[in-house]
């Protein structure tokens, strides 16, 4: 006769899994509370307010899709801010990806003192944004900025970086590239995870540096590049602090980004319903662009286990 009073191995395992599940739920509930209070509820509130007219006082007045109709058909500032945001994204996104990857390739070399340079390149990314942007204001100053002083040494006349409709967005892009050290660290971690055997095989095959880069390094780094691309894309479409501190959106709306427009409509013009509609449109644009990136990733992102999974 078997002693049925003792728990079986299956019962013990099931009890252990239930305990682990309860512990996991206890720890994750605080994240869920934060997500609910600071993300989900504000998003739902913004969607509701986008169909209302509200100045922040009293009850919102339901007006249906009037805010969206005004934005898409009768608001030239919206289209201007959208073009400025797209221009900034077109400049900052590829330059940030290429610069970060290039610096990571340099920092991956086995040279004496390379760890010091890794620290130096990473430091700007942890500095607070506003003080750094104030320093950039002095760098770009037309009369006594260090950048124009350096140009003057080689005979180039002073450039009104932050007061020129042509140069203001490239100047803001430079301030963003200043903090590329954070992405360099992520690229560097990915580079150090590439199997050395692949480089040895490429060398035996007679591949040069460029061929090794495009046949070994970039395919193996494509998941990291994809991750960086998504983050940089979302961040560039939400840029705010640079324009708010450096230019206030000028000159002549040349740096009037979408996020700055939303802020001004909400807290300066007190059109919170209209600003909510702008925020919803920006959210949809980010969602669509990100979905396109995810949809195309299967054509160029390589995962080491995907081939084995397909063959099996």
Specify the pLDDT at position 243. 93
With a threshold of 0.85, does the pTM exceed it? Answer: yes
Specify the pLDDT at position 25. 84
Specify the pLDDT at position 308. 43
Specify the pLDDT at position 23. 85
Residue 279's nearest CA partner among 103, 51, 17 is 51
CATH match for 76-311 among 1.10.3720.10, 3.40.50.2000, 3.50.50.60, 3.40.50.10490: 1.10.3720.10
Q: Which two tokens stand for residue 20?
A: 């682990």
Question: Per-residue confidence at 260, pLDDT binned at 50, 70, 90?
Answer: very high
Residues 249 and 306: their CA atoms lie apart, in Å, by 46
pLDDT in tens, 218-255: 999 999 999 999 999 999 999 999 999 999 999 999 99
Neighbour-count burial of 138, counting CB atoms closer than 10 A to its CB (0-12 exposed, 13-18 middle, 19+ buried): exposed
pLDDT in tens, 127-179: 877 889 999 999 999 988 999 999 999 999 999 999 999 999 999 999 999 88
pLDDT in tens, 24-68: 888 888 888 898 999 999 999 999 999 999 998 889 999 999 999
For the chain, what's the residue count? 312
Q: What percentage of the chain carries pLDDT values higher than 70?
A: 93
Specify the pLDDT at position 5. 55
Q: Across residues 282-300, what is the average pLDDT? A: 95
Residue 280's nearest CA partner among 258, 257, 306, 252 is 258
Specify the pLDDT at position 212. 92
pLDDT in tens, 204-223: 888 888 999 999 999 999 99
Q: Which residue intervals of the chain bear CATH 1.10.3720.10? A: 76-311
Quick count: other Cβ atoms within 10 Å of Cβ 256?
A: 24
């Amino acid at each position: 006769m078997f002693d049925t009073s003792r728990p079986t191995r299956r019962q013990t395992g099931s009890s252990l899994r239930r305990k682990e599940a309860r512990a996991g739920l206890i720890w994750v509930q605080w994240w869920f509370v934060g997500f609910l209070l600071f993300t989900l509820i504000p998003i739902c509130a913004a969607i509701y307010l986008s169909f209302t007219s509200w100045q922040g006082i009293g009850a919102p007045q339901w007006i249906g899709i009037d805010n969206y109709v005004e934005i898409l058909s009768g608001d030239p500032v919206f289209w201007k801010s959208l073009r400025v945001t797209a221009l900034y994204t077109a400049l900052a996104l590829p330059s940030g990806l290429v610069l970060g990857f290039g610096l990571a390739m340099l920092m991956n070399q086995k040279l004496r003192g390379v760890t010091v340079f890794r620290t130096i390149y990473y430091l700007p990314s942890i500095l607070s944004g506003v003080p750094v942007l104030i320093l950039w204001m002095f760098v770009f100053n037309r009369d006594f900025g260090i950048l124009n002083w350096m140009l003057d040494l080689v005979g180039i006349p002073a450039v009104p970086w932050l007061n020129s409709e042509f140069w203001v967005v490239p100047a803001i892009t430079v301030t963003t590239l200043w903090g590329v050290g954070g992405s360099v660290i992520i690229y560097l971690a990915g580079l150090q995870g590439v199997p050395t055997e692949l480089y040895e095989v490429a060398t035996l095959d007679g591949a040069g540096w460029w061929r090794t880069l495009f046949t070994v390094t970039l395919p193996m780094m494509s998941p990291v590049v994809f991750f960086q691309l998504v983050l940089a894309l979302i961040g560039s479409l939400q840029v705010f602090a640079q324009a708010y501190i450096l230019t206030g959106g000028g000159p002549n709306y040349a740096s009037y980004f979408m996020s700055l427009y939303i802020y001004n409509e909400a807290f300066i013009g007190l059109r919170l319903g209209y600003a909510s509609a702008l925020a919803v449109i920006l959210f949809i644009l980010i969602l669509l662009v990100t979905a396109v990136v995810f949809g195309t990733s299967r054509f160029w992102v390589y995962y080491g286990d995907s081939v084995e999974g397909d063959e099996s």
